[in-house]
Amino acid sequence: MKKYFFLILTTILFFHNISYCQEGLDRGFKVKVGDLSPEFSLELLDGSILNNKNLLDKVVVLQFTASWCGVCIKEMPHLEEKVWQVFKSDDFILIGIDLKEELDVVRNFVSKVGVTYPIAIDKDGSVFESFTTEKAGVTRNIVLNKRGEIIFLTRLFDELEFSQMVEIVKAELLKYE
């Protein structure tokens, strides 16, 4: 009985903390949990085009990054190992979105960091700016459910928040099994 009580209490506290973190501060976002994703279109490094319409029916993590961003470089191997490698065979996609850099810079950056998830370049920053306030910092993850609704937002790289994001992705994918 104590085991079940502890499990229930831990689950309640976990989701309360997620709710508080997500609603407590805007942290430079114009969007919030529950909003429909702004419309966007991105060309991946392989030339394919992704937009929020053709990503419906997938759980999506949009990861905004840049080669000059130390926090991004720290986070990317975690995204590769704990998100992409774990969920890539499901109805899931993680898209790295490089902010305003040239193709050769982005290719070198991706090679140096060693990630294998799809990468796009937001050449003019318009996709980033559709989610964020003016002059917002770049290290961000936005999780979308299969209907294109925002279900989680991160800012910078915090291990607790990152773990919460992984659990949110896992829980969202389990809804559709």
17-65 tens-digit pLDDT = 444 444 445 688 999 999 999 999 999 999 999 999 999 999 999 999 9
The 8-class DSSP code of residue 70 comes to: H
Q: What's the pLDDT score for residue 28? A: 83
CA distance 57 to 53: 9
Position 89 scores a pLDDT of: 83
* 81: nearest Cα among 169, 166, 175: 166
Considering only CA atoms, which of 139, 154, 61 is closest in space to residue 98?
Answer: 139
At 87, the amino acid letter reads F
At residue 148, the pLDDT reads 97
Number of Cβ within a 10 Å radius of residue 96:
26
- CATH code of the region 2-174: 3.40.30.10
Q: pLDDT class for 173, splitting at 50, 70, 90?
A: very high
Question: How far is it, in rounded angstroms, from Cα 97 to Cα 126?
Answer: 11
What average pLDDT does range 126-136 have in this prediction?
91
Indicate the pLDDT class of residue 9, thresholds 50, 70 and 90: very low
More confident residue, 16 or 28: 28
Average pLDDT of the residues in 83-110: 95
Q: Is the pLDDT of residue 135 over 90?
A: no
